[in-house]
Every structure is written in C-alpha cells, then in structure tokens.
Amino acid sequence: MKGSGVKVLRRKEEEKKLQTAQVSDLCKRRLLNYADSFCELAKSYDREFVQECQDRGTLLMERRLWENRQIIRGHLTEMAKIMTEAACEVLSYQPMEGKKKKLLLQAMAEEGIRVENPCYLPRTNGQEAMILTMSTLKGAKVSAEEATDMISVILNRRLQLSVSSPYLIESVPQSFILEEEAGFLVLTGFSKAIKENETISGDNYSVIEAEKGRVTVMLSDGTGSGEAAGRDSEKVLDLMEKMLEAGFGMDTAINMVNTALFAAGEDQNHPTLDICDIDLYQGSCQLRKVGGAITFLKRLEEVEQFAVGSLPLGIFQKVEVQPVNKTLQDGDFLIMVSDGVVDAFERGEQEGAILRAISGLQGSNPGEMAQRLLRIALCACGGKITDDMTIGIIGIWES
C-alpha cells in the first residue's frame, strides 16, 4: 500500500510538470528546407548598385530595377525567418490537476458536453490560457460562449472564448482555447463625410480583434478623393490585415505594404496609415503613423495630441516608424481622424479649435461622440466639405 501511495504522488507531481509539443520532424525538415531555399534566393539579389552607363534615363531605369530586386530580397528573407520560427516553435502546456479535471468533466457531461484533455497554456504576457477538446453527447449544437461561461463558474476563473475558436460545439470533437479575461475592454465608433461631388470616400478604416487581448484600429487616407483613393486605402488595410493574420510583426507588415507600393512606382498612389494597437491586459497602446493626421487622447476634460512626422506609404523603399507608447486609464478615449477633419477648422486656429471641440465632448458612446465631433467639424467649415472626413473614437474601460 505504501508503494502504491508513492506512485500516486509521483504521478501527480509529473502531471504538474510543464510539457511541450512541436511540429513533427518531417514538417520541421520541410519548413527549414523551404527557409534555406528562400535564403539562397535572397542572396542572389544581394549586391551593390554599380553605375555602368552615363545615360541618365538608362541609369534611372537600372537604379529602379536594382531597388525592386532589394525589395524582393527583403521579402524572401522575411519569409525564411517566419518559416524558421514556425519550424522551431515549441508549444508549452500543463495538464490540468486530476481533481479539478474530474470536476470539470463531470459537470460539463451533466450539461451534455464531453470535455477531453484540458490543459493550461502559459502566455508570454504572464496570463494563462486553457486548451481543451469539446463535443456534444447527444448530437445537439451548443454555443461555445455559453460553455465558456459554464467553465468559468466551475473553475472560478474569468475566461473568454478566443477569437480563433469555433463558435459552436458539435458532435464532432473540436479544439477550443479559452483566454483569461482581459482587464480592459474597448468600444469603437466611426463617423464619415464624403467630399463634395464624390460618391465614395477615399478614407477607410479597420478594427482587428486578435488573440491575447489585443485590438488594432487602423485608418488609411487615400491620395486625393473618390473611387481611386478609396480603392488604394482599402487595399492598404486589406494587405495589413492579411500580414498581421499571417504572423508578421507590426513594423514588418508596414514595411512590406510600403515596399509593395514603392515597387509599383505610381507617383499618385501614396495612402497614409494610422495605427492604434491596444493591449487589453496591460491597459496600454502603441500609436504608429505613416503620414497619418493627429491622434488625440481625451482623459476627462484634458486632451493630449500625438503627431509623428512621417511621409505617406510608397515614397521611400523603407519607412522608419517610431511607435508612441501610452498607458491608458478607465474612461479614456482615443480619437483618430483623417486630414479632412483637421483642415475643416480655420487655418491658424486648427489646433486650438479641435482641442476645444474634443475637450467638450460628453457621453460614453464612441459612435455618438464621433457623430457630434463630425457635426462640429462640418459647422467649422460652413458645410463645405473639401476633403473626405473620417473620425474614429475608441473608448477604454476597466472590465
């Protein structure tokens, strides 16, 4: 009996240990081979520009060709880097304690849901997520959010369904990730006005809710106005979304979109890009601007403005983006605007007028606040809309 007791204790200690999982050796080898191939291709483009002729037209053409090759080299190198990281990525997890696991499985079974292999996933931000497999016992479909609420009560933890998890639990087993509920939540609201004699705005915006409690708001102002400008700014946001979802870092994604526009060589296609990246666990944000207008932070009646001098996308081969870090508080509002909003106020008085307008905004509904600020801008310009106007307001509260 004494020996069996020692074995039980030993098994419990082993369950507490952090375990790891990674891609199979075959997949790892293939990914690393792909990465090596991309690196070799990148090296073939890695050479200094050599002036071989005196003719100015030919020289400019050769210089442009060399710049495009450097862009391709950079993209190939970045792809090799991502493949290498994916091949070497190790997922750490810890099996749930036996007593707690038994309680969870029995309680969920009573609700008609089969739970298998519940484990903890340590996160880099200090939080701890859960991964588990769920399926229904009687073939019915159950909301995954409802199941998450049940699990939160059973385990006495504040959990929320991850963005990438399925919305429904069905008879076929599926994997679900439950994240620790973030300390902050955000609501966004937008309001737009289109330039006179145009039917389509050149401004576009996007809100991305990513894993690990991050919300990214992006605003792009296309060059000029109308359908062509709207198409350009929409393309920028679409590319950014795809890059971020594929695992590219924020600054890398910006530079890859920039080089794509630079390589196209269109002199009139230089959209701006304004990014507000919010960490809902830390209650902080990073602002990045590539030619974007001023962003404002409203805290009660005080208003702080952020403007970073940077040219729009596609002008230079590489852009240097300096992120601005800001700690947020309960009840703060971030206000993002396009150039048309700032230009609506009288020249020379723009800064003071828009600061007063934002300071006087009341309420807690970002959408209504954005509409009120737009009405103020329209009154300031006498109703004459000379450029597209877009206002995005992000409200931050402790959850």
pLDDT in tens, 111-141: 999 999 999 888 766 778 899 999 999 878 9
Q: Is the backbone of residue 158 left (phi > 0), alpha (psi -120 to 50) or beta?
A: beta
Which tokens sit at 338? 């396009």
Long-range contacts of 156-164 (CB under 8 A, 24+ apart): 159/130, 162/129, 162/211, 163/209, 163/210, 163/211, 164/211
Which tokens sit at 210? 């990513």
Q: Residue 125: what pLDDT?
A: 67
Q: Is the distance from CB of 275 to CB of 217 less than 8 angstroms? A: yes
Q: Residue 310: what pLDDT?
A: 79
Distance CA 176, CA 277 (A): 25
Positive or negative, the Cα torsion across 143, 396, 252, 212?
A: negative
Q: Where do runs of H (alpha helix) occur along the chain?
A: 2-16, 25-44, 56-88, 98-110, 144-155, 226-245, 250-264, 339-343, 350-359, 366-380
C-alpha 204, offset from chain centre: 16
Q: Other CB atoms closer than 10 Å to residue 175's CB: what's the count?
A: 13
pTM: 0.81
Distance CA 367, CA 379 (A): 19
Angstrom distances, CA of residue 343 to CA of 123, 312, 378, 386, 390: 44, 17, 11, 9, 12
Name residue 127's amino acid.
Q
Q: Which residues contact 140 (CB under 8 A, 6 or more apart)?
A: 112
Distance CA 195, CA 385 (A): 5
Task: Extract the residue ranges of the chain whose pLDDT is less than 50.
Answer: 1-2, 6-9, 11-16
Angstrom distances, CA of residue 268 to CA of 200, 265, 363: 18, 9, 40
Tell me the β-bridge partners of 190.
392
Q: Residue 8: what pLDDT?
A: 46
Q: What is the DSSP letter of 328?
A: -
Selection from 277, 281, 276 nearest residue 398 by Cα: 281
Positive or negative, the Cα torsion across 154, 158, 162, 168?
A: positive
Q: Is the distance from CB of 130 to CB of 121 less than 8 angstroms? A: yes
Selection from 238, 229, 228 nearest residue 203 by Cα: 229
Distance CA 161, CA 148 (A): 6
Tens digit of pLDDT for each residue in 274-299?
999 999 999 999 999 999 889 999 99
Q: Residue 20: what pLDDT?
A: 59
